[in-house]
């Protein structure tokens, strides 16, 4: 069963072809990073216009890479939310047009659920139940997954998402956009990381990163940062400490079989290593290219939804504030 996945929720225009929810036949990603870098962040209007210009060439490239034509497909999966309304609309309308023209079933996919399904694109075996930490630019959710499409949200961020915190910290340290990779790179040059506060929110599975960001800002404003590398390392360590400790504790308490990591921040090498080192359970993490936004994860998720008879009608609409669970 070959599914075309389409992803346009933020600043990547992506199309992929995935067979049987696992085998990537094509994975095309057109990044808008350079376009937005000059503004220091994503400009929604610029993003949706760029998706409009790029979506058809990206789908054509994906079909060429998969050596397939649209009539070889068995279904379409598209991100319907959460994300930027104008950007989501480009992908959803494109998907509906292809589905209508080729009489294909369509599935609207939750972007966060898609991130989790990047783990099905590796050759690791997944055994339910699992605890999954999804850390992206817009979300930090800790989720119990008991089966396909079966989620219980255990906790989420009360303020900034982990990726958002990385992006803001990078701005404070003058490291530019996107912040996550810049902080990771700078932290790699650190010799003595600075100590920053952690918000544990004990007794809950929730996260909070805005206090940490403010602490970094105060230090910068007071001229107390002598080494950007040491500040970046201290910040990175504080975020990772909380993410890893709370994820492992929740997994232990619930007695799950595995821990899954997902989302753009999951491409951070230090986070990957610390989670593996701290967990008594097997930890599954997709390769970095499948952690950041892509359409292969959307196709994989759509495959399981269509297989479970959860196709959508052509009335499918975007839900910019869609939640998981
Ligand atoms: O999942 P994603 O590609 O897009 C969203 O759904 O938001 O995540 C993007 C976020 C950005 O905030 C970016 O700074 C962060 O992931 N990120 C990283 C790294 N690579 C991307 N954060 C920390 N370390 C990285 N290596
Ligand atoms: Zn994402």
pLDDT band for position 176 (cuts 50, 70, 90): confident
Residues 138 and 280 in one domain: yes
Report the CATH number that the domain containing residue 132 is assigned in CATH: 3.30.420.40
Ligand nearest the Cα atom of residue 178: 1
Mean pLDDT calculated for residue range 123-135: 96
The residues with which 18 forms a beta bridge, in sequence order, are: 3, 24
| Beta carbon of 163 within 6 Å of any ligand 1 atom | yes
The mean of the pLDDT values for the chain is 97
Residue 30 and residue 108 in one domain: yes
Structure tokens at 197: 């506060």
* pLDDT tens by residue, 2-33: 999 999 999 999 999 999 999 999 999 999 99
SS (H, E, C) 194-254: CCCCCCCCCCCCCECCHHHHHHHHHHHHCCCCCCHHHHHHHHHHHHHHHHHHHHHHHHHHH
> For the segment 55-88, what is each residue's pLDDT rounded down to a tens digit?
999 999 999 999 999 999 999 999 999 999 999 9
String of b and e for 81-108 (b: at least 16 CB within 10 Å)?
bbbbebbbbbbbbbbbebbeeeebbbbb
Is residue 292 lining ligand 1, measured as CB closer than 6 Å?
Answer: yes
Residue 136, ligand 1, Cβ within 6 A? yes
- The number of distinct structural domains making up the chain is 2
Question: What are the backbone angles phi and psi of residue 91, rounded to the nearest 5°?
Answer: -65, -45
Segment 215-274, tens digit of pLDDT: 999 999 999 999 999 999 999 999 999 999 999 999 999 999 999 999 999 999 999 999
Ligand 1 atom at minimal distance to the Cα of residue 83: 6
Same-domain pairing of 280 and 294: no
Instruction: Say if 262 falls within a structural domain.
Output: yes
Identify the residue whose C-alpha is closest to ligand 1 atom 10: 137
Q: What is the mean pLDDT of residues 199-226?
A: 97
DSSP β-ladder status, 12-19 and 23-31? antiparallel
Distance CA 118, CA 226 (A): 39
What domain range includes position 55?
Answer: 2-117+290-307
pTM given for the model: 0.97
Check: CB of residue 77 under 8 Å from CB of residue 303: yes
Cα(170) to centroid(ligand 2), Å: 19
Same domain, 187 and 53: no
Q: Could you identify the atom of ligand 1 that is nearest to the CA of residue 112? A: 6
Answer yes or no: is the C-beta of 81 below 6 A from any ligand 1 atom. Answer: no
> What local confidence, expressed as pLDDT, does residue 178 receive?
87
**Pairing relationship of beta strands 12-19 and 2-7 according to DSSP bridges:** antiparallel
Span 156-174, average pLDDT: 97
Is 245 found in the same domain as 138?
Answer: yes
Residue 104 shares a structural domain with residue 221? no
């Amino acid at each position: 069963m070959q599914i075309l996945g389409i992803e346009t929720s933020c600043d990547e225009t992506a199309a992929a072809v995935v067979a049987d929810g696992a085998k990537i036949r094509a994975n095309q990603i057109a990044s808008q990073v350079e376009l937005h870098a000059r503004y220091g962040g994503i400009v929604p209007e610029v993003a949706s216009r760029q998706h409009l210009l790029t979506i058809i060439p990206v789908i054509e490239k994906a079909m060429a890479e998969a050596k397939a034509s649209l009539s070889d497909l068995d279904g379409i999966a598209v991100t319907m939310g959460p994300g930027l309304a104008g950007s989501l609309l480009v992908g959803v309308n494109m998907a509906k047009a292809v589905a209508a023209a080729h009489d294909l079933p369509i599935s609207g996919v939750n972007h966060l659920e898609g991130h989790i399904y990047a783990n099905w694109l590796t050759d690791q075996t997944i055994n339910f139940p699992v605890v999954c930490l999804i850390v992206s630019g817009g979300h930090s959710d800790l989720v119990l997954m008991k089966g396909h499409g079966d989620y219980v949200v255990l906790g989420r961020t009360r303020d900034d998402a982990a990726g958002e915190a990385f992006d803001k910290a990078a701005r404070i340290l003058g490291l530019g956009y996107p912040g996550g990779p810049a902080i990771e790179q700078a932290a790699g040059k650190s010799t003595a990381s600075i100590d920053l506060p952690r918000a544990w929110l004990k007794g809950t599975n929730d996260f909070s990163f805005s206090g940490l960001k403010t602490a970094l800002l105060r230090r910068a404003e007071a001229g107390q940062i002598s080494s950007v590398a040491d500040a970046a390392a201290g910040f990175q360590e504080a975020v990772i400490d909380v993410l890893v400790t709370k994820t492992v504790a929740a997994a232990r308490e619930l007695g799950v079989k595995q821990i899954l990591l997902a989302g753009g921040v999951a491409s951070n090498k230090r986070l990957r290593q610390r989670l593996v080192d701290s967990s008594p359970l097997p930890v599954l993490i997709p390769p970095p290219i499948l952690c950041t936004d892509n359409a292969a994860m959307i196709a994989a998720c759509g495959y399981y939804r269509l297989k479970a008879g959860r196709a959508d009608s052509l009335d499918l609409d975007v839900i910019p504030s869609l939640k998981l669970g």
